[in-house]
Amino acid sequence: MSGYQDYALEVVDDAAAMSRRAAAIVADQVVADPETVLAVPTGNTPLGMFADLIGRVEAGALDFGRCRLFCLDEYVGVAPDDPNSLTGWLSDAFARPARFDPARVHALPSTDSDPIAGAARYEDRLAALGGLDLAVLGLGGNGHVAYNEPGSAADSRTRVLTLTPASIRQAAAYWQGAVPIPDQAMTIGIGTLREAKHIVLIVSGLGKAEILRRSLEDPMTDVVPASWLRLAGPRLTVVADRAAASELSQPRA
Ligand code: PGA
């Protein structure tokens, strides 16, 4: 376990600065390795990062064409072209405008009749590519990362799980109640994410301050799945704005 507190914490002024910093990390990685195997989150937090990266692509400064994008989570029974699909959302918000090759965007097998076999295939595909080079993650209000809900083990793999009422409410609010939110999701596992060569957790706003403190300063626990990311030690970078970092006992600049 030694070294598990050795993650990097970068506290920046605001959401815009968080987005710029996260985009710079992604861009540097892709310039260094044009075949980067990447994961990025859904939700509000990554929108500024996406805009920055799409701007670089449009300016000809960045090319995702040979990268791989692995989706982090999807509702069970939901296909990418369904209106409540996270894969579809990610495609519209990032993959298509950032000009990923659709053949290199990997959706979770959320409609597979055998989700256990499907999840194993997803893990195998990722492993065959050497795992994730860079996983950018958001932090759920209940401490989830991807859809690893409270109760998720440190070594959990890609699987189906039941969402908590809090996550279903958060998702329903995001979609403004316009689409049904299934009560089960398929998510990449904590163990899978922890194997990424670099993990970047992006966190913004006062509403995330307490859960960020619990994630970073309480004992690691499956009650707060994000806390397990600290096991990645120096391979974890947390980029938080001042508001999100405001409850940390020892904010490091
Ligand atoms: P948010 O979602 O970025 O919309 O806050 C984060 C999450 O639930 O992972």
**pLDDT given for residue 2 in this prediction:** 41
Ligand 1 centroid–CA 19 distance in Å is 14
Is residue 253 pLDDT above 50, yes or no? no
**pLDDT given for residue 1 in this prediction:** 42
- CA 53 vs CA 26, 49, 120: distances in Å: 8, 6, 31
Active site residues: 73, 142, 144, 149
Ligand 1 centroid–CA 55 distance in Å is 23
Is residue 231 pLDDT above 60, yes or no? yes
- CA 153 vs CA 129, 147, 156, 198, 225: distances in Å: 24, 12, 5, 20, 7
- CA 135 vs CA 26, 138, 172: distances in Å: 9, 10, 25
Rounded Cα–Cα distance for residues 85 and 179 (Å): 10
Q: Which atom of ligand 1 is nearest to the CA of 41?
A: 9
Q: Residue 120 contacts by C-beta under 8 Å, 6 or more apart in sequence?
A: 158
Is the full-model pTM beyond 0.85?
A: yes
Rounded Cα–Cα distance for residues 32 and 54 (Å): 18
Rounded Cα–Cα distance for residues 243 and 143 (Å): 17
The 10s digit of each residue's pLDDT in 103-154 is 999 999 999 999 999 999 999 999 999 999 999 999 999 999 999 999 999 9
Q: Which atom of ligand 1 is nearest to the CA of 174?
A: 4
Phi and psi at residue 46, to the nearest 5°? -85, 0
The 10s digit of each residue's pLDDT in 167-219 is 999 899 888 888 889 999 999 999 999 999 999 999 999 999 999 999 999 99
Query: Which is more confident, 135 or 250?
Result: 135
Q: Which atom of ligand 1 is nearest to the CA of 141?
A: 8
Is residue 243 pLDDT above 50, yes or no? yes
Task: Give the pLDDT mean for 90-101.
Answer: 98
Ligand 1 centroid–CA 59 distance in Å is 28
**pLDDT given for residue 131 in this prediction:** 98
Nearest-CA residue for ligand 1 atom 2 is 43
**pLDDT given for residue 3 in this prediction:** 54
Rounded Cα–Cα distance for residues 172 and 48 (Å): 22
Nearest-CA residue for ligand 1 atom 7 is 140
**pLDDT given for residue 252 in this prediction:** 52
Spacing of C-alpha 184 from chain mean position? 18
**pLDDT given for residue 219 in this prediction:** 96
**pLDDT given for residue 75 in this prediction:** 96
**What is the per-residue DSSP string for 192-204?**
HHHTSSEEEEEE-
The 10s digit of each residue's pLDDT in 30-77 is 999 999 999 999 999 999 999 999 999 999 999 999 999 999 999 999
Is residue 15 pLDDT above 60, yes or no? yes
